[in-house]
């Protein structure tokens, strides 16, 4: 595990890099609001500047998650180290690359966050009520889930996303995810496909990844979560991203660890299959 001193140094380097890059981005926008190719190039330059593990505070979550994974907790006072994430009890390497997947013991398809909650309850007899009520970190408040997901996902970094849909329940949930993706709803009458159903769409200077067919932008996107969001000073997971997109659609918040979020994640991963995981990443 990294020492606290290195952790502090990491944050310092991050702060310097970010100050520089915000300056770069600001001047680009001032002078070139009508020139989208310059803005896109500036955003790309900003991405490169922050894409440095030594300047990525997401690795502090990785370290905290590692400690949490082996900490004895819950009524049974045991660690999560016997939790089976799909590759066998305690096996972490490559597990995230194959999630969501079907778990026989739960008779359910689960994403990483659902599975972790399940293991906390079954393996540790840990009361997850508090986590379910406030799963995401906020000002002055960390998140066990963000730490654990960063740690476990990092063990699949460099591997490729797999979604073979070998089990009938996986196929079924994929189809539910597809239906949810195209379902228009709420006051804006948006579906996910409104924004993510064609190539090369943008909102202002932001390129929108396409998710309705297998393609490189879907691979790059899904290969980049969990990610440290500079704008939120927090490491965010796919549960948070989908919560945020539903919020933007003026939809009620989806339940944390709900089947619906897992269904959409499975659908997105299928169209991102073969994409390389580089996580935790860092982005705006
Ligand atoms: C009103 C437009 C809009 C709708 C509708 C929308 N999104 Fe998004 N989505 C965005 C924007 C904007 C981003 C941020 C892109 C960025 O920062 O690169 C985003 C980002 C994402 C990302 C992360 C992309 C990345 O590379 O980091 C995923 C995954 C995603 N959306 C999935 C969905 C899903 C699933 C739905 C439907 C439940 C949905 N979105 C609905 C606008 C939308």
Condensed to tens digits (0 to 9), the pLDDT of residues 110-124 reads 999 999 999 999 999
What pLDDT is stored for residue 43 in this prediction? 77
Q: Compute CA 74 distance to the chain's CA centroid, rounded to the nearest angstrom.
A: 26
What pLDDT is stored for residue 47 in this prediction? 74
Q: What is the dihedral of CA 229, 208, 256, 247, to 10 degrees?
A: 100
Q: Which two tokens stand for residue 252?
A: 């009620």
Pocket test for ligand 1, best of 180, 208, 218, 223 (most atoms within 8 A of CB): 208
User: Is 229 known to sit in a ligand binding site?
Assistant: no
Residue ranges in the chain modelled with pLDDT below 70? 1-37
- State pTM to two decimals: 0.86
Is residue 245 part of the annotated active site? The answer reads yes
* Cα distances (angstroms) measured from residue 270 to each of 211, 213, 273: 9, 9, 5
What pLDDT is stored for residue 35 in this prediction? 56
Q: Measured between alpha carbons, how far is 235 from 159 in angstroms, rounded to an integer?
A: 20
Q: Measured between alpha carbons, how far is 118 from 175 in angstroms, rounded to an integer?
A: 24
What pLDDT is stored for residue 206 in this prediction? 85
Q: Whose CA is nearest to atom 13 of ligand 1?
A: 208
Residues 82, 89: contact at Cβ < 8 Å?
Answer: yes
User: Is 245 known to sit in a ligand binding site?
Assistant: yes
What pLDDT is stored for residue 69 in this prediction? 98
User: Phi and psi at residue 171, in whole multiples of 5°?
Assistant: -60, -45
Query: From the CA of 106, how far away is ligand 1's center (Å)?
Result: 30
Q: How many residues does the chain have?
A: 284
What pLDDT is stored for residue 36 in this prediction? 61
Ligand 1 neighbour 190 (Cβ under 6 A): yes
């Amino acid at each position: 595990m990294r020492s606290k001193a290195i952790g502090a140094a990491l944050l310092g380097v991050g702060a310097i890099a970010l100050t520089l890059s915000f300056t770069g981005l600001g001047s680009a926008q001032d002078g070139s609001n009508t020139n989208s190719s310059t803005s896109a190039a500036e955003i790309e330059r900003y991405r490169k500047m922050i894409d440095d593990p030594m300047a990525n505070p997401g690795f502090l979550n990785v370290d905290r998650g590692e400690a949490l994974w082996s900490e004895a907790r819950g009524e049974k006072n045991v660690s999560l180290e016997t939790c089976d994430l799909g590759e066998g009890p305690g096996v972490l390497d490559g597990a995230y690359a194959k999630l969501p997947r079907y778990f026989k013991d739960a008779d359910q398809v689960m994403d990483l966050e659902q599975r972790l909650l399940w293991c906390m309850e079954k393996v540790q007899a840990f009361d997850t009520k508090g986590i379910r009520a406030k799963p995401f970190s906020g000002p002055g408040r960390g998140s066990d889930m963000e730490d654990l997901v960063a740690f476990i996902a990092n063990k699949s970094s460099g591997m490729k996303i797999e979604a073979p849909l070998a089990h009938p329940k996986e196929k079924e949930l994929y189809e539910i995810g597809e239906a949810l993706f195209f379902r228009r709803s709420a006051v804006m009458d948006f579906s996910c496909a409104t924004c993510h159903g064609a190539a090369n769409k943008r909102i202002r200077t932001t390129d929108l990844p396409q998710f309705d067919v297998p393609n490189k932008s879907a691979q790059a996107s899904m290969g980049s979560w969990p990610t440290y969001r500079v704008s939120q000073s927090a490491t965010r997971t796919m549960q948070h991203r989908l919560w945020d997109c539903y919020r933007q659609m003026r939809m009620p918040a989806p339940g944390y660890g709900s089947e619906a979020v897992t269904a959409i994640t499975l659908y997105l991963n299928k169209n991102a299959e073969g994409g390389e995981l580089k996580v935790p990443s860092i982005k705006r």
